[in-house]
């Protein structure tokens, strides 16, 4: 099952979206922070949702190349994001295969959901 995730930062603070099985989960007003922190929070939320759904074959798809490379151990995690990395590393994974992949921004359904004006007001 494909799970799309994306985090962002607007003048009002951080936000993220996760799309799983056609359902959009958007959380806004996460407080001050950076777009990179928001991306980590989106990855954490997507991992939690994958585990809660008990997916046997989960592939998490995001457009934040740096966060994905850090999570996969391909590059060093900067000190500012070690807490998020540790939290993500400690999360239980869904059963079966669990993959994390980078996709283009234009392919990221979660990023598209965050940008849509009709969904700007929804949370959940």
CATH code assigned at 52:
3.30.420.10
Question: pLDDT by residue (tens digit) across 50-64?
Answer: 999 988 899 999 999
What distance in Å separates the CA atoms of residue 113 and residue 111, rounded to the nearest whole number?
5
pLDDT band at 44 (very low <50, low <70, confident <90, very high): very high
pLDDT at 120 over 50: no
Q: Which domain holds residue 39?
A: 2-115
The 3-state DSSP composition of the chain as helix, strand, coil percent (nearest 5) reads: 40, 25, 30
Terminal C-alpha separation, the chain: 21
* 71 assigned to some structural domain: yes
How many domains are there within the chain? 1
Question: pLDDT by residue (tens digit) across 10-31?
Answer: 888 999 999 999 899 999 989 9
SS3 104: coil
pTM, whole model, 2 decimals? 0.91
């Amino acid at each position: 099952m494909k799970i799309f995730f994306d985090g962002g930062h607007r003048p009002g603070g951080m936000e993220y979206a996760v799309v799983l099985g056609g359902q959009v989960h958007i959380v806004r007003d996460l407080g001050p922070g950076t777009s990179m922190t928001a991306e980590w929070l989106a990855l954490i939320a997507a991992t939690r949702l994958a585990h809660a759904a008990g997916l046997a074959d989960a592939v998490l798809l995001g457009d934040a190349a740096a966060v994905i490379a850090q999570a996969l151990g391909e590059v060093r995690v900067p000190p500012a994001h070690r807490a998020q990395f540790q939290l993500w590393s400690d999360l239980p994974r869904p059963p079966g295969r669990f993959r994390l992949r980078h996709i283009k921004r234009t392919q990221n359904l979660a990023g598209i959901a965050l940008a849509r004006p009709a969904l700007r007001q929804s949370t959940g």
